[in-house]
Chain A
Amino acid sequence: MRTLSLYQEGDSIIHKIDPITKIIFVLITILIPIIMGTLNSAFAFLIISLTLVIIAGVIKKVLPIVGFTSIILVTVIIIQGLYYFNNRTPFFAIGTVVFYKEGLLYALEIILRIYSIINSVSLLMFTTKPSDLVEALVKKGLSPRIGYVFSSVLQIIPQMMSTVDTIIDAQRSRGMEVEGSFSRRIRAFIPLIGPAVISSLIDTKERAMALEVRAFNSRYKKTFLNEGTTFKYADVMQVSLISILIISIVLRFVH
């Protein structure tokens, strides 16, 4: 079964934490370094989120993302190192190109922030079942219809993709060439996309009716089969995370 989910099975303590606490953690790793605006806070959150990723046992999945982002982040170093508006102290030079200390420090801060965001978002995505995540949000008041869209898309898109594969095979068996030069591919596109769109529309209509007869638009208050990943310390953790956020805001204004 192909799904688009990034979820990795596991039984670490991180997997047991409820989705809402993880979402709050993600928000905090994004917000606090911005609010504090210091290198230390960015570094601290990188260490924290990286440690959690290791505990969750998903570091192998995160490394490729970090690697890919690094390529982009190299440009940040170059641009800020050369052109940051506060640049005063030359740090080193390659030929006539001078890199400045202020710019490099600023780039470092950006990089630390981005890496810690990647780590914390990965933590959420790799250790939370999408269905649990959506269900937690619906329980918190997200519309069940929007929740359905999020959770069904992960399974229905792969289904649509296999429909497209079938259509490609069918058109090929009738002699249509789908490979080759660019113009040939463009010409092949229309006979493929037509049936794909129409069959998806028909499927969607049928699915809409099938949902209707299962009381999708019911006016009763929805209940949930899974009472949710009940995590003992969820409340404590959420309160402390939010307190940390408030403290950081206060500190910022005191300074």
Chain B
Amino acid sequence: MFFMKIITVEHLKYKYPLSDKLALDDISFEIEQGEFIGIIGQNGAGKSTLCQALVGLVPNFYKGSYGGTVLVNGINVSKTEVSEVASHVGLVFQNPFNQITGSKLTVYEEVAFGLENLGLPVEEMKRRIDNVLNLLGLYEFRDKNPFDLSGGQMQRLAIAGIIAMQPEVIVLDEPTSQLDPQGSEEVFRVVQRLSEQGMTIVMAEHKMEKIAAYSDRVMLLHDGKLIDFDIPKKVFSREDIEEYGVITPVYTRICKNLDIKDENGFYPITIDEAHERLEKIL
């Protein structure tokens, strides 16, 4: 099977203005079309900075010193305007409130914001908005004021606003960190659905059980360096993983303490795998 490389990052280095430390230190990787990539690492590891580098906010929004290249779908994002990159790669932020434009009175119009800026014809806009609202389960709220939505609904609306622009890649920077469990679950379900539809997804997240369940590969960052980029089982089975401030999925921790490994020598990372392994033993 032929996989197309959709993101290629080469020797990416970045330093924020007024800072002496590299926020991203010589990062190189490739992501294939349709992959689900999880980014993990403790606070300050560079997760958000990397997410923003993928859409060109780093360096174009912050300035600062930048080295290396980020290619998304053949576009060099650091040399392209963010608004131009926006139709190729979308970014969803942590705080749902701050992603609502505030200039629109209904959910329906809110989704249209990006499409208006891209100058799409009205018919196309309506087609895309209907489509996206249905996909994200927001159609029933289309006439509501965006600020009247719950956190989880608002975050899904933020995702809708991005998806409607039909990017090839969507980057989510801790999209559930400010949501309650129910809201988080809604958002994860939506992200999973997008992944099943073949969209390339890059998600930074602290909820390791979710990363373990959804990711094709996991990127482990520490102090701005790329420590590991591999299948989740392999990353979570690293003996030194806790030194990087990552708390592995609870199933992994249980199996690690019980010293239960699969045939490849990795610890189970999801409840199903752990269940299967334990059943064989008991």
Interface residues in chain A, defined as those with a beta carbon under 8 Å from any beta carbon in chain B: 1, 129, 131, 134, 144, 147-148, 151-153, 155-156, 159, 203, 206-227
Q: Which residues of chain B (130-169) have a CB below 8 Å from chain A?
A: 145, 147-148, 158, 161-162, 165
Q: Are B104 and A206 in contact (CB under 8 A)?
A: no
What number of A-B contacts does a CB cutoff of 8 Å give?
A: 120
Q: Are A226 and B109 in contact (CB under 8 A)?
A: yes
Chain B residues within an 8 Å CB radius of A144: 117
Which candidate, B25-33, B92-100, B195-203, B270-278, is the interface stretch facing chain A? B92-100
Q: Contacts A219-B81, A219-B84 given; 9 further ones with Cβ under 8 A?
A: A1-B148, A131-B105, A206-B99, A207-B101, A214-B114, A214-B165, A218-B119, A220-B118, A225-B126
Chain A residues within an 8 Å CB radius of B129: 225
Q: Which residues of chain B (82-127) have a CB below 8 Å from chain A?
A: 82-84, 86-87, 90-91, 93, 95, 97-99, 101-105, 108-109, 112-122, 125-126
| Beta-carbon nearest neighbor of A150 in chain B | B103
Q: Are B118 and A210 in contact (CB under 8 A)?
A: no
A38–chain B nearest beta-carbon distance, Å = 43
Bound-complex Cα distance A208 to B121 (A) = 25
Bound-complex Cα distance A6 to B125 (A) = 29
Known: A1-B148, A209-B61. A216 touches B99 (CB 8 A): no
Closest A-B pairs by Cβ, 8 of them:
A220-B119, A214-B114, A152-B102, A225-B112, A151-B103, A206-B98, A215-B83, A215-B117
Bound-complex Cα distance A222 to B101 (A) = 16
**B235 within 8 Å of A (CB atoms):** no
Chain B residues within an 8 Å CB radius of A156: 102
**B220 within 8 Å of A (CB atoms):** no
A144–chain B nearest beta-carbon distance, Å = 8
B143–chain A nearest beta-carbon distance, Å = 13
Q: Are B95 and A206 in contact (CB under 8 A)?
A: yes
**B50 within 8 Å of A (CB atoms):** no
Query: Among the listed B91, B95, B115, B120, which residue makes an inter-chain contact with A213, where contact means beta carbons less than 8 Å apart?
Result: B91
Chain A residues within an 8 Å CB radius of B81: 217, 219
**B57 within 8 Å of A (CB atoms):** yes
| Beta-carbon nearest neighbor of A212 in chain B | B82
B119–chain A nearest beta-carbon distance, Å = 4
**B55 within 8 Å of A (CB atoms):** yes
Known: A155-B102, A215-B114, A223-B116. A209 touches B125 (CB 8 A): no
Q: Are A152 and B117 in contact (CB under 8 A)?
A: no
| Beta-carbon nearest neighbor of B52 in chain A | A209
Q: Are A225 and B115 in contact (CB under 8 A)?
A: yes
Query: Among the listed B82, B103, B108, B148, which residue makes an inter-chain contact with A148, where contact means beta carbons less than 8 Å apart?
Result: B103
Bound-complex Cα distance A17 to B241 (A) = 66
A166–chain B nearest beta-carbon distance, Å = 12
Chain A residues within an 8 Å CB radius of B104: 131, 151
Bound-complex Cα distance A159 to B52 (A) = 26
Query: Among the listed A131, A155, A209, A220, which residue makes an inter-chain contact with B117, where contact means beta carbons less than 8 Å apart?
Result: A220
Q: Are A210 and B99 in contact (CB under 8 A)?
A: yes
A157–chain B nearest beta-carbon distance, Å = 9
A153–chain B nearest beta-carbon distance, Å = 8
Bound-complex Cα distance A210 to B98 (A) = 7
Q: Are A215 and B102 in contact (CB under 8 A)?
A: no
Query: Among the listed A208, A213, A221, which residue makes an inter-chain contact with B55, where contact means beta carbons less than 8 Å apart?
Result: A213
Q: Are A155 and B103 in contact (CB under 8 A)?
A: yes
Q: Are A223 and B120 in contact (CB under 8 A)?
A: yes
Known: A152-B101, A207-B98. A212 touches B61 (CB 8 A): yes
B138–chain A nearest beta-carbon distance, Å = 16
Q: Are B103 and A214 in contact (CB under 8 A)?
A: no
B130–chain A nearest beta-carbon distance, Å = 12
Chain B residues within an 8 Å CB radius of A210: 93, 98-99, 101, 158
A154–chain B nearest beta-carbon distance, Å = 8
| Beta-carbon nearest neighbor of A206 in chain B | B98
A140–chain B nearest beta-carbon distance, Å = 16
Bound-complex Cα distance A148 to B55 (A) = 23
Q: Are A214 and B86 in contact (CB under 8 A)?
A: yes
Q: Which of A151, A159, A210, A220 has the most chain B CB within a 10 Å cutoff?
A: A210
Chain B residues within an 8 Å CB radius of A217: 81-83
Query: Among the listed A129, A155, A203, which residue makes an inter-chain contact with B98, where contact means beta carbons less than 8 Å apart?
Result: A203
| Beta-carbon nearest neighbor of A214 in chain B | B114
Q: Are B102 and A209 in contact (CB under 8 A)?
A: no
Q: Are A218 and B117 in contact (CB under 8 A)?
A: yes
Known: A152-B102, A152-B103, A159-B147. A216 touches B83 (CB 8 A): yes
Chain B residues within an 8 Å CB radius of A152: 101-103
Known: A214-B162, A215-B114, A216-B83. A209 touches B119 (CB 8 A): no
Chain B residues within an 8 Å CB radius of A129: 105
Chain B residues within an 8 Å CB radius of A131: 103-105, 109
A239–chain B nearest beta-carbon distance, Å = 27
Bound-complex Cα distance A206 to B118 (A) = 21
